[in-house]
Protein backbone atom coordinates (compact mmCIF):
# COMPACT_ATOMS: atom_id res chain seq x y z
CA UNK A 1 0.00 0.00 0.00
CA UNK A 2 1.09 3.59 -0.64
CA UNK A 3 1.83 5.47 2.58
CA UNK A 4 2.55 9.01 3.80
CA UNK A 5 1.38 10.84 0.69
CA UNK A 6 -1.88 11.73 -1.03
CA UNK A 7 -2.93 9.22 -3.69
CA UNK A 8 -5.95 7.66 -5.35
CA UNK A 9 -7.49 4.59 -3.75
CA UNK A 10 -10.47 4.07 -6.07
CA UNK A 11 -11.31 5.13 -9.61
CA UNK A 12 -14.53 4.31 -11.49
CA UNK A 13 -14.98 5.67 -15.00
CA UNK A 14 -17.84 5.10 -17.44
CA UNK A 15 -18.49 6.05 -21.04
CA UNK A 16 -21.61 5.94 -23.19
CA UNK A 17 -20.00 4.85 -26.44
CA UNK A 18 -23.29 5.30 -28.27
CA UNK A 19 -23.09 9.04 -27.53
CA UNK A 20 -19.34 9.57 -27.95
CA UNK A 21 -18.86 7.37 -31.00
CA UNK A 22 -15.53 6.24 -29.54
CA UNK A 23 -14.17 3.85 -26.92
CA UNK A 24 -11.68 5.81 -24.86
CA UNK A 25 -11.80 3.45 -21.85
CA UNK A 26 -11.31 0.34 -23.97
CA UNK A 27 -8.38 1.98 -25.73
CA UNK A 28 -6.90 2.99 -22.37
CA UNK A 29 -7.10 -0.59 -21.05
CA UNK A 30 -5.52 -1.93 -24.25
CA UNK A 31 -2.77 0.70 -24.19
CA UNK A 32 -1.57 0.26 -20.60
CA UNK A 33 -2.30 -3.41 -19.93
CA UNK A 34 -3.00 -6.90 -21.21
CA UNK A 35 -5.94 -9.21 -20.66
CA UNK A 36 -5.51 -11.81 -17.93
CA UNK A 37 -8.93 -13.34 -17.32
CA UNK A 38 -12.63 -12.75 -17.72
CA UNK A 39 -14.43 -10.68 -15.09
CA UNK A 40 -17.69 -8.93 -14.27
CA UNK A 41 -18.82 -5.87 -12.33
CA UNK A 42 -22.37 -4.66 -11.60
CA UNK A 43 -23.88 -5.92 -14.81
CA UNK A 44 -20.79 -5.40 -16.95
CA UNK A 45 -19.04 -8.31 -18.67
CA UNK A 46 -15.38 -7.87 -19.49
CA UNK A 47 -11.82 -8.69 -18.54
CA UNK A 48 -9.26 -8.08 -15.82
CA UNK A 49 -6.12 -6.44 -17.18
CA UNK A 50 -2.64 -6.53 -15.69
CA UNK A 51 -0.38 -3.51 -16.07
CA UNK A 52 2.83 -2.01 -14.70
CA UNK A 53 3.20 1.26 -12.83
CA UNK A 54 5.08 4.16 -14.37
CA UNK A 55 7.58 4.28 -11.50
CA UNK A 56 8.19 0.48 -11.56
CA UNK A 57 8.24 0.32 -7.75
CA UNK A 58 4.68 -0.91 -7.30
CA UNK A 59 3.77 -4.58 -7.76
CA UNK A 60 1.74 -5.89 -10.68
CA UNK A 61 -1.38 -3.73 -10.96
CA UNK A 62 -4.86 -4.62 -12.20
CA UNK A 63 -7.94 -2.94 -13.64
CA UNK A 64 -11.31 -4.12 -14.86
CA UNK A 65 -12.84 -3.09 -18.17
CA UNK A 66 -16.30 -4.23 -19.20
CA UNK A 67 -19.26 -3.33 -21.35
CA UNK A 68 -23.03 -3.68 -21.36
CA UNK A 69 -26.18 -2.41 -23.04
CA UNK A 70 -28.38 -0.29 -20.77
CA UNK A 71 -31.58 1.45 -21.87
CA UNK A 72 -30.70 0.81 -25.50
CA UNK A 73 -27.24 2.36 -25.26
CA UNK A 74 -23.75 0.86 -25.20
CA UNK A 75 -21.70 1.59 -22.08
CA UNK A 76 -18.09 0.91 -21.10
CA UNK A 77 -16.87 0.73 -17.49
CA UNK A 78 -13.36 0.89 -16.05
CA UNK A 79 -12.56 0.25 -12.36
CA UNK A 80 -9.24 0.29 -10.49
CA UNK A 81 -8.71 0.20 -6.72
CA UNK A 82 -5.87 0.54 -4.24
CA UNK A 83 -2.40 0.99 -5.72
CA UNK A 84 -3.87 0.18 -9.14
CA UNK A 85 -6.00 3.34 -9.07
CA UNK A 86 -2.91 5.49 -8.45
CA UNK A 87 -0.93 3.57 -11.07
CA UNK A 88 -3.66 4.05 -13.66
CA UNK A 89 -4.07 7.80 -13.14
CA UNK A 90 -0.30 8.20 -13.54
CA UNK A 91 -0.55 6.57 -16.96
CA UNK A 92 -3.38 8.96 -17.81
CA UNK A 93 -1.19 11.95 -16.87
CA UNK A 94 1.02 11.02 -19.84
CA UNK A 95 -1.93 11.14 -22.24
CA UNK A 96 -3.77 14.07 -23.81
CA UNK A 97 -6.83 15.18 -21.84
CA UNK A 98 -8.86 15.33 -25.05
CA UNK A 99 -8.71 11.53 -25.24
CA UNK A 100 -11.10 11.40 -22.28
CA UNK A 101 -13.77 13.79 -23.50
CA UNK A 102 -17.09 12.08 -22.87
CA UNK A 103 -15.69 9.94 -20.04
CA UNK A 104 -17.62 10.21 -16.76
CA UNK A 105 -16.04 9.72 -13.35
CA UNK A 106 -18.65 8.23 -11.02
CA UNK A 107 -16.44 7.59 -7.99
CA UNK A 108 -12.97 8.71 -6.91
CA UNK A 109 -11.44 8.02 -3.50
CA UNK A 110 -8.33 9.88 -2.33
CA UNK A 111 -6.45 8.54 0.66
CA UNK A 112 -3.49 9.18 2.90
CA UNK A 113 -2.09 6.54 5.26
CA UNK A 114 0.08 7.54 8.21
CA UNK A 115 1.48 5.69 11.24
CA UNK A 116 -1.06 5.16 14.01
CA UNK A 117 -0.33 7.54 16.94
CA UNK A 118 1.89 6.07 19.64
CA UNK A 119 -0.14 7.69 22.41
CA UNK A 120 -3.59 6.44 23.38
CA UNK A 121 -5.91 7.49 20.60
CA UNK A 122 -9.51 6.79 19.58
CA UNK A 123 -11.20 8.05 16.44
CA UNK A 124 -14.51 8.28 18.30
CA UNK A 125 -13.03 10.95 20.61
CA UNK A 126 -12.27 13.39 17.78
CA UNK A 127 -14.12 16.70 17.97
CA UNK A 128 -16.21 17.45 14.87
CA UNK A 129 -17.39 20.74 13.44
CA UNK A 130 -20.84 21.89 14.47
CA UNK A 131 -23.82 20.26 12.71
CA UNK A 132 -21.67 17.49 11.25
CA UNK A 133 -23.09 13.99 11.62
CA UNK A 134 -20.86 10.98 12.19
CA UNK A 135 -21.01 7.29 13.04
CA UNK A 136 -18.47 4.83 14.39
CA UNK A 137 -18.18 1.11 13.68
CA UNK A 138 -16.21 -1.08 16.10
CA UNK A 139 -14.84 -4.62 15.83
CA UNK A 140 -17.18 -7.11 17.46
CA UNK A 141 -14.96 -10.16 17.96
CA UNK A 142 -11.69 -10.89 19.73
CA UNK A 143 -9.95 -11.01 16.37
CA UNK A 144 -10.91 -7.45 15.41
CA UNK A 145 -11.83 -5.71 18.67
CA UNK A 146 -8.99 -3.28 17.96
CA UNK A 147 -10.64 -1.98 14.78
CA UNK A 148 -12.48 1.32 14.57
CA UNK A 149 -13.97 3.16 11.58
CA UNK A 150 -15.27 6.71 11.69
CA UNK A 151 -17.70 7.93 9.01
CA UNK A 152 -18.04 11.72 8.84
CA UNK A 153 -21.03 12.89 6.84
CA UNK A 154 -23.80 11.02 5.09
CA UNK A 155 -22.86 7.93 3.09
CA UNK A 156 -25.36 8.96 0.41
CA UNK A 157 -23.85 12.45 -0.02
CA UNK A 158 -21.58 13.31 -2.98
CA UNK A 159 -18.63 13.63 -0.58
CA UNK A 160 -17.96 11.50 2.50
CA UNK A 161 -14.98 11.26 4.85
CA UNK A 162 -13.88 7.92 6.24
CA UNK A 163 -11.09 7.22 8.74
CA UNK A 164 -10.08 3.89 10.19
CA UNK A 165 -7.38 1.90 11.89
CA UNK A 166 -5.64 -0.37 9.38
CA UNK A 167 -3.74 -3.50 10.41
CA UNK A 168 -1.95 -5.29 7.58
CA UNK A 169 0.35 -7.76 9.35
CA UNK A 170 1.46 -9.06 12.73
CA UNK A 171 4.16 -6.44 13.30
CA UNK A 172 2.03 -4.48 15.77
CA UNK A 173 2.52 -1.31 13.74
CA UNK A 174 -0.95 -0.11 12.79
CA UNK A 175 -1.83 2.66 10.33
CA UNK A 176 -4.33 5.48 10.25
CA UNK A 177 -6.05 5.61 6.87
CA UNK A 178 -8.08 8.73 5.99
CA UNK A 179 -10.17 8.65 2.81
CA UNK A 180 -12.41 11.13 1.05
CA UNK A 181 -14.94 9.50 -1.25
CA UNK A 182 -16.19 11.64 -4.13
CA UNK A 183 -19.24 10.46 -6.10
CA UNK A 184 -21.37 11.62 -9.02
CA UNK A 185 -20.90 15.31 -9.92
CA UNK A 186 -18.23 15.77 -7.23
CA UNK A 187 -16.21 12.90 -8.74
CA UNK A 188 -16.56 14.29 -12.25
CA UNK A 189 -15.29 17.71 -11.21
CA UNK A 190 -12.39 16.20 -9.26
CA UNK A 191 -11.45 13.95 -12.19
CA UNK A 192 -10.82 16.88 -14.51
CA UNK A 193 -9.04 18.88 -11.81
CA UNK A 194 -6.61 16.00 -11.19
CA UNK A 195 -6.00 15.44 -14.90
CA UNK A 196 -5.32 19.16 -15.39
CA UNK A 197 -2.92 19.32 -12.42
CA UNK A 198 -1.04 16.19 -13.47
CA UNK A 199 -0.91 15.01 -9.86
CA UNK A 200 -3.32 13.96 -7.13
CA UNK A 201 -2.45 16.75 -4.71
CA UNK A 202 -4.40 17.74 -1.60
CA UNK A 203 -8.14 17.07 -1.95
CA UNK A 204 -8.73 16.66 1.77
CA UNK A 205 -10.59 19.94 2.24
CA UNK A 206 -13.72 18.09 3.45
CA UNK A 207 -11.63 16.63 6.29
CA UNK A 208 -10.46 20.08 7.37
CA UNK A 209 -14.03 21.45 7.32
CA UNK A 210 -15.51 18.57 9.27
CA UNK A 211 -12.75 17.66 11.72
CA UNK A 212 -9.83 20.08 12.06
CA UNK A 213 -7.98 17.81 14.51
CA UNK A 214 -7.93 14.91 12.07
CA UNK A 215 -6.77 17.20 9.28
CA UNK A 216 -3.90 18.50 11.43
CA UNK A 217 -2.73 14.90 11.83
CA UNK A 218 -2.53 14.22 8.09
CA UNK A 219 -1.52 17.70 6.89
CA UNK A 220 2.28 17.13 7.22
CA UNK A 221 1.99 14.28 4.71
CA UNK A 222 -0.01 16.12 2.05
CA UNK A 223 2.53 18.63 0.76
CA UNK A 224 4.90 16.19 -0.95
CA UNK A 225 4.28 14.57 -4.33
CA UNK A 226 7.28 12.28 -4.90
CA UNK A 227 7.93 10.63 -8.25
CA UNK A 228 8.47 7.34 -6.46
CA UNK A 229 5.73 6.69 -3.90
CA UNK A 230 6.66 5.33 -0.51
CA UNK A 231 5.07 1.94 0.02
CA UNK A 232 4.57 -0.62 2.74
CA UNK A 233 4.35 -4.15 1.43
CA UNK A 234 1.38 -6.04 2.77
CA UNK A 235 1.67 -9.67 3.73
CA UNK A 236 -1.86 -10.80 4.55
CA UNK A 237 -2.78 -13.76 6.70
CA UNK A 238 -4.12 -15.77 3.75
CA UNK A 239 -0.90 -15.31 1.77
CA UNK A 240 1.16 -16.28 4.81
CA UNK A 241 -0.88 -19.45 5.20
CA UNK A 242 -0.50 -20.32 1.51
CA UNK A 243 3.25 -19.59 1.42
CA UNK A 244 4.02 -21.55 4.59
CA UNK A 245 1.58 -24.27 5.67
CA UNK A 246 0.04 -25.05 2.28
CA UNK A 247 3.33 -24.75 0.38
CA UNK A 248 5.07 -27.07 2.85
CA UNK A 249 2.31 -29.67 2.53
CA UNK A 250 2.48 -29.60 -1.28
CA UNK A 251 6.28 -29.97 -1.17
CA UNK A 252 5.95 -32.94 1.16
CA UNK A 253 3.47 -34.58 -1.21
CA UNK A 254 5.71 -34.08 -4.25
CA UNK A 255 8.77 -35.35 -2.35
CA UNK A 256 7.12 -38.67 -1.46
CA UNK A 257 9.44 -41.28 -3.02
CA UNK A 258 7.10 -44.23 -2.56
CA UNK A 259 4.08 -42.70 -4.29
CA UNK A 260 5.63 -39.82 -6.23
CA UNK A 261 3.65 -40.27 -9.43
CA UNK A 262 0.37 -40.63 -7.55
CA UNK A 263 1.11 -37.52 -5.51
CA UNK A 264 1.95 -35.48 -8.61
CA UNK A 265 -1.33 -36.58 -10.16
CA UNK A 266 -3.20 -35.66 -6.95
CA UNK A 267 -1.71 -32.15 -6.87
CA UNK A 268 -2.46 -31.71 -10.60
CA UNK A 269 -6.09 -32.72 -10.11
CA UNK A 270 -6.39 -30.37 -7.14
CA UNK A 271 -4.98 -27.50 -9.23
CA UNK A 272 -7.32 -28.20 -12.15
CA UNK A 273 -10.31 -28.40 -9.79
CA UNK A 274 -9.35 -25.07 -8.18
CA UNK A 275 -9.17 -23.42 -11.61
CA UNK A 276 -12.60 -24.76 -12.58
CA UNK A 277 -14.06 -23.41 -9.32
CA UNK A 278 -12.58 -19.98 -10.00
CA UNK A 279 -14.17 -19.91 -13.45
CA UNK A 280 -17.53 -20.78 -11.89
CA UNK A 281 -16.84 -18.38 -8.96
CA UNK A 282 -17.17 -21.13 -6.35
CA UNK A 283 -15.19 -21.65 -3.16
CA UNK A 284 -12.62 -24.42 -3.34
Question: Is residue 133 located within the same domain as residue 257?
Answer: no
Output the pLDDT for position 224.
64
Question: Could you give the number of structural domains in the chain?
Answer: 2
Least confident interval from 41-45, 146-150, 174-178, 229-233: 229-233
Listed in order, strand segments (DSSP E) in the chain are 7-16, 33-41, 44-51, 61-70, 73-81, 103-115, 134-138, 148-152, 159-166, 175-183
Neighbours of 223 (CB within 10 A): 10
Cβ–Cβ < 8 Å for 204, 178: yes
Q: What is the mean pLDDT of the chain?
A: 85
For 57, residues 6+ apart whose C-beta sits below 8 A from its C-beta are: 228, 229, 231
Residues of the domain holding 28: 7-221
pLDDT at 278 over 60: no
Residue environment code for 263-283, b if the CB has 16+ CB neighbours within 10 A, otherwise e: beeeeeeeeeeeeeeeeeeee
pLDDT at 210 over 90: yes
Output the pLDDT for position 152.
94
CA-CA distance, 146 to 140, in Å (whole number)? 9
Average pLDDT over residues 132-144: 76
**Where is pLDDT greater, at 22 or 277?**
22
Does a structural domain hold residue 192? Answer: yes
Reported pTM: 0.79
Q: Which of residues 193, 221, 249 is at a domain's end?
A: 221
Question: Is residue 123 located within the same domain as residue 192?
Answer: yes
pLDDT in tens, 37-61: 999 988 999 999 999 988 767 778 9
pLDDT at 276 over 70: no
Does a structural domain hold residue 214? Answer: yes
**Where is pLDDT greater, at 24 or 276?**
24
Question: Is residue 99 located within the same domain as residue 206?
Answer: yes
Question: Is residue 157 located within the same domain as residue 130?
Answer: yes
CA-CA distance, 6 to 272, in Å (whole number)? 42
Question: Is residue 52 located within the same domain as residue 115?
Answer: yes
pLDDT tier for residue 136 given thresholds of 50, 70 and 90: confident
Does a structural domain hold residue 1? Answer: no
pLDDT in tens, 22-36: 999 999 999 999 999
Question: Is residue 173 located within the same domain as residue 216?
Answer: yes
Least confident interval from 118-127, 161-170, 260-269: 260-269
Question: Is residue 154 located within the same domain as residue 245?
Answer: no
Question: Is residue 174 located within the same domain as residue 275?
Answer: no
Amino acid sequence: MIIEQSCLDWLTLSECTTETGRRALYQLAQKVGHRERQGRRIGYQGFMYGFDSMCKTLPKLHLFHGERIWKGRDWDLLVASGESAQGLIEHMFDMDESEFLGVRATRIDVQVTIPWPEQLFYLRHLVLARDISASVVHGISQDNDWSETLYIGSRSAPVMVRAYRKRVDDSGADWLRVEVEYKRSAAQELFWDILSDGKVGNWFGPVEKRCATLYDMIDPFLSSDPDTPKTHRVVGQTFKWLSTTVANCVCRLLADDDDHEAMVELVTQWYEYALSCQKRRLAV
